Amino acid sequence: MGKSTFVIKQRAYLKLYMLHAAEKGRLYGLQILEELQNHFKDLGYKPTKSEIYKSLHELLKEGYVVREPITKEGTEMQTIYIYRLGDKEKVKAYKDTIKADIDRSIALLNRALKDNYSQKRG
Amino acid sequence: MGKSTFVIKQRAYLKLYMLHAAEKGRLYGLQILEELQNHFKDLGYKPTKSEIYKSLHELLKEGYVVREPITKEGTEMQTIYIYRLGDKEKVKAYKDTIKADIDRSIALLNRALKDNYSQKRG
DNA sequence: TCATGAACAGCATGTTCATCC
DNA sequence: GGATGAACATGCTGTTCATGA
């Protein structure tokens, strides 16, 4: 896990969702952005374009996903990139480490609730 | 809450614990640090000296705590600062906003678990 | 304009240095 | 050496700019 500091970083969190998008296939950058912004709207979280791209690029560089250029036919020609999962075993191992980090983060947050907001008796 | 981004910041999290320490009284900076490092050891989280001091200074500046210098008698004279809670109502309101942020953070993390690690049937 | 990037700036946080008993 | 700070440096993230179709 490297050096574990406070809670999970946004980047790792988003990479997890990028893998999820790659699993489904047929999604490209800005489309994923829009879906996620919508998905998290109720929690007041609005990921940005640059974080999405950086997450995608990192996953690509690390070999968790592969991508292929597609020419999107419309009023004009536009090149987009569709992402797909790379080696399944490797991806699974990676997802496991992220899950551990999320679990740890939740534990940290729950501890704060317990320590600071529990009713004190007496 | 200002502009809510991803999960709660370490600073806010620590300030909550600083208030807790101020409630108990009789604790100074480095002592709080040691206690917290010990308290979170099992979760792999080790807060640093500078974050503790910054949290304390912010709370002081914002009026949530007050402090008084104490000359610690020992082999040598040493000046330490003991913190106490400021206006109770104000502190309570502040703690409420932090709690909301923690709740929101937990919801965000739980959503990731649900979206990415639930068994898919079929 | 939509889509992909990169560059840049700001801020959160960790590491090192300074000062005082 | 223990305690409090500040300065410095790194790193994460948001905003802006650049390029192409």
- How many Å apart are B76 CA and D3 C1'? 12
By CA distance, what is A6's nearest residue in B? B45
**Would you list the domain boundaries of chain A?**
10-117
Tokens representing A112?
Answer: 């704060």
CB pairs under 8 A between A and B: 88
Residue B73 clears pLDDT 90, i.e. is over it? no
Residue A31 clears pLDDT 70, i.e. is over it? yes
Q: CA–CA separation, B38 vs B33, rounded Å?
A: 9
Q: Provide the 10 A C-beta neighbour count for residue A10.
A: 18
Query: To which residue do tokens 């999107």 refer?
Result: A72
Identify the pLDDT of residue B74. 66
Identify the pLDDT of residue A1. 43
Least confident interval from A2-16, B35-49, B65-79? B65-79
Per residue in A44-74, is it b (16+ CB within 10 Å) or e — as a string? ebebeeebbeebbebbbeeebbebeeeeeee
Identify the pLDDT of residue B1. 44
Average pLDDT in the A92-113 region? Answer: 97
Contact A99 B108 (CB under 8 A): no
Closest residue (Cα, C1') to C16: B50
Tokens representing A14?
Answer: 């988003």
Q: Provide the 10 A C-beta neighbour count for residue A7.
A: 24
Contact B40 A108 (CB under 8 A): yes
Could you confirm whether domain B10-115 is CATH 1.10.10.10?
yes
Contact A108, B9 (CB under 8 A): no
Q: Please indicate if any CB of chain A lies within 8 Å of the CB of B106.
A: yes
Identify the pLDDT of residue B120. 67
Can you name the CATH fold of A10-117? Answer: Arc Repressor Mutant, subunit A (1.10.10)
